[in-house]
Structure 1
Amino acid sequence: MSPAHTPVVTVVQLDAGVPLDRFADWLDGVETRTVHAYRGEPLTVDEVGDGLIVLGGQMSALDVDVPGIAATRTLLAEAVAAGVPTLGICLGAQLLAVAQGGRVHVAAPPGREAGVIEVHWRPEALTDALVGPLLDPGTPEERRTTPMPSMHADAVVDLPRGAVWLAHSRQYPYQAFRVGPSAWGLQFHPEASPATLHAWAQLHADVDTAAVDEAVQRHDRSIAAHGALLARTFAGVVRERTQDAVLV
C-alpha cells in the first residue's frame, strides 16, 4: 500500500429507500463504494477495503430470508474480528449487535421512535474516538444531549458482551455503543436529510408526518452540524488506520 492510497469505505445499502444521503458529502478524504445488498450483490470482508458502513432499512435484523440480511450479519462479525473501522446505523446497528451476540426485539413494546430525539450521552462517550468530539467535557452530564433524527420500531435490548454503552434516549436505552476499539452502532440517523426523514414518516400510519417535518426544520442546523462531524470523524478513524497500515 503506497502513501498516496486513498482509503475506501464500503457502504452496504440494505433498502432502496435508505441511502447514504448527506454522509456522501461529509466523508472527507475517503472514497465510498456502495453495495446494494437488497439486490443480492455479494460482498466478503476481503472486499470491504478500509472501512465499512451498514445503513438502515424497513426489514428486521432477524429477517434472515430477506436478501442481504444474513450476509451482512456475517460480514459485520468478520469486519469486527479483522479490526475494520465499522459504523452501523439503525438497522445496521441492530445487525452489529446481533452479529456480536447481542439481542434485538422486533416491534419493541415502547413503540416507534420517530422524528427528532434527544440523544443523551453517557460518561463513556467523552473519551470515545467517534462520538467524543461531539461533546464538551465542561458541560454537566445531564445536559450532554444532541438532537438527532430517528425512525425505528425494532430495538437493541441486550448489548454484546464487552460492548461500551455510549448513549440513550428517553424511549430506548441503546442509542449508541461501541464493540471493540473501532466498531460503532448508532440507533439514530445522523445521515438523514429532512427530505429522507419526511419520506420515511409517510410510510408509517402511526407517524405524524407534519410533526416530524416541524421538528426537523427546527433542529436541522444542529443535526447537520453534528452529523457532519460524526461522518468526518469516522472518515478520520479510517484514514488513521490506513496510515498505520502503511507504516507497518
Structure 2
Amino acid sequence: MSSVRILAVEHEHGTGPERFGTWLAEAGAEVEVVRPYRGEDLAESFAGLEGDGVFDALIVLGGSAGPLDDIDNPWFPAVRDLLTRSAAGGFPSLNICLGGELLAAAAGAAISRRTRPQIGVYGLRATSAGERDPVFSALAGAEIPAVLFHQEEMALPTDAALLVTGSDAPVQAFRLGEFAWGTQFHPETDAAQIERWLASDPLRLPEGKTEDSIRAEVAAADAELVETNRRLAHSFVDFLRTRRGTGRSAS
C-alpha cells in the first residue's frame, strides 16, 4: 500500500511541522512542505489536493500573522479559498493555530485580538463532540496539556463542532463539515521552537508569566505533550488511510 501523502503550508521560517511531522511519518505518511514566503508556487501544489490529485490531505501551519493580514502574506486569500473547499467536503485538512484561524475566517467567524496573548502550557479537554470525532477522539479522557502561543483569538464558526476547549480562549479545536479541522493549540511545538519564538516575537507575556516560567512549563509537560500529540498525529493518518480505503470521494 502506498503511503498517505500530506501537503503542509509553512507561512514563515521557524514554523514548520517539527515533531508532529515526525509522528505523521512514523504513522506512515509522507509530508511535503510548500513555503510561499520563499516564492514557492502554491497553485501547482494545491492542484494536487482535489479530485484524483497526489495528496490525501492538507495541513496549514502556524505563524505570527493574523489570518486576514493579506498585504504582508498575499497567498492568504488562496489558502482561505482552499479551506472553504475543504470544509465543503473537497479533501481533509488539519489547520494549526494561524491555520485554524484561517479556516475560521474563511467560514466567516469573528477574529479578535487579545489584550494579552496566551503563551505556555494550558489544560484543555475534549468535548463530547470531540470524544466522538474520528480524529480528535484520540484526545478523549482526562484533561490534557497543550502549548498555546497566540494573540489572535477565533470564535466558533457557524455550524462547526467544538471538539476541544479550555482556558479563557474556549475554541481550542473544531471541525467544519466532515473533515476540515482547526486548532488554536500547537501539537507540533517543542521547547526549542518555543525558545526561538520567545526570542523573536515581541508579544507581551501573559499576566504573571516570565520567559523562564514559560520554558519551565513546557519542559515539565514535555513527556505528556509527546504522548498526547503523537496520538493525534497517528489518529489523523489512520483517518486518511481509512478514507483512502473506502474511496477518496467518500465523506
Equivalent residue runs for 1:161-180 within 5 Å: 161-180=158-177
Q: If the length of structure 1 is used for normalisation, what is the TM-score?
A: 0.89
Q: Distance in 1 between matches of 2:227 and 2:239?
A: 18
Equivalent residue runs for 1:15-30 within 5 Å: 15-27=12-24, 28-30=27-29
Moved more, 60-69 or 211-220: 60-69
Partner SS state of residue 18, structure 2: coil
Partner SS state of residue 247, structure 2: helix
Equivalent residue runs for 1:210-229 within 5 Å: 210-229=212-231
Q: 1:116 to 1:173 in 2, by over 3 A?
A: same
The Cα shift of 1:169 comes to 2.2
Structure 1 runs (4+) deviating above 3 angstroms are none
Runs of 5+ consecutive residues of structure 2 not aligned to the other structure = 50-54
Deviations 1:62-93 (Å, cap 9, x if unpaired)? 11122322221112112232431110000000
Contact 1:108 1:153 in 2 (8 A): yes
Partner residue of 1:59 out of 57, 62, 65: 65
Q: Distance in 2 between matches of 1:68 and 1:205?
A: 24
Give the equivalent residue in structure 1 for 2:33: 34
Q: If the length of structure 2 is used for normalisation, what is the TM-score?
A: 0.88
Deviations 1:203-226 (Å, cap 9, x if unpaired)? 235232211110011111000110
Aligned-pair identity (%): 31
Deviations 1:82-136 (Å, cap 9, x if unpaired)? 431110000000001111221211x224x20001111132222111111112223
Letter in 1 for 2:152: D
Q: Distance in 2 between matches of 1:168 and 1:213?
A: 23
Q: Distance in 2 between matches of 1:221 and 1:79?
A: 33
Give the equivalent residue in structure 2 for 1:131: 136
Q: Distance in 1 between matches of 2:77 and 2:83?
A: 10
Q: 1:124 to 1:247 in 2, by over 3 A?
A: closer
Runs of 5+ consecutive residues of structure 1 not aligned to the other structure = 137-143
Contact 2:117 2:203 in 1 (8 A): no
Contact 1:119 1:148 in 2 (8 A): yes
